[in-house]
């Protein structure tokens, strides 16, 4: 049987916060703009457009890389000045 670690908290100590951080994931979405089709890379759960590509393969490369390595996870997502616009 494994022993459970006991932790004593003293008056004034702060207990560990809730670690339920929303995980970032990216997806691609096709939209039609005029007569051409554009592939958008969208960051979830913020629902913001990170990049737009003409070819699906280019968008898939970004989606696969970001979902695998989670580069911006610790910062809570890509910085706002890098977003293109908010997707609906």
Is the distance from CB of 37 to CB of 55 less than 8 angstroms?
Answer: no
Report residue 16's pLDDT band, with 50, 70 and 90 as the boundaries.
Answer: low
pLDDT at 42: 95
Q: Which of 77, 81, 74, 18 is nearest to 43 (CA)?
A: 77
Distance of alpha carbon 37 from alpha carbon 79, whole angstroms: 26
pTM across the whole model: 0.70
pLDDT at 18: 60
pLDDT at 13: 74
**Above 70 in pLDDT, residue 86?**
no
**Above 60 in pLDDT, residue 3?**
yes
Domain ranges for the chain, please list them: 25-86
Reported as a single tens digit per residue, the pLDDT across 23-80 is 889 999 999 999 999 999 999 988 999 999 999 999 999 999 999 999 888 888 888 8
């Amino acid at each position: 049987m494994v022993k459970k670690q006991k932790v004593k908290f003293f008056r004034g100590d702060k207990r560990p916060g809730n670690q339920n951080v929303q995980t970032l994931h990216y997806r691609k979405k096709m939209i039609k703009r005029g007569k051409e089709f554009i592939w958008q890379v969208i960051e979830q759960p913020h629902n913001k457009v990170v990049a737009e590509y003409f070819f699906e393969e280019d968008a898939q490369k970004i989606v696969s890389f970001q979902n695998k390595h989670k580069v911006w996870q610790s910062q809570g997502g890509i910085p706002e000045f890098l977003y293109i616009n908010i997707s609906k």
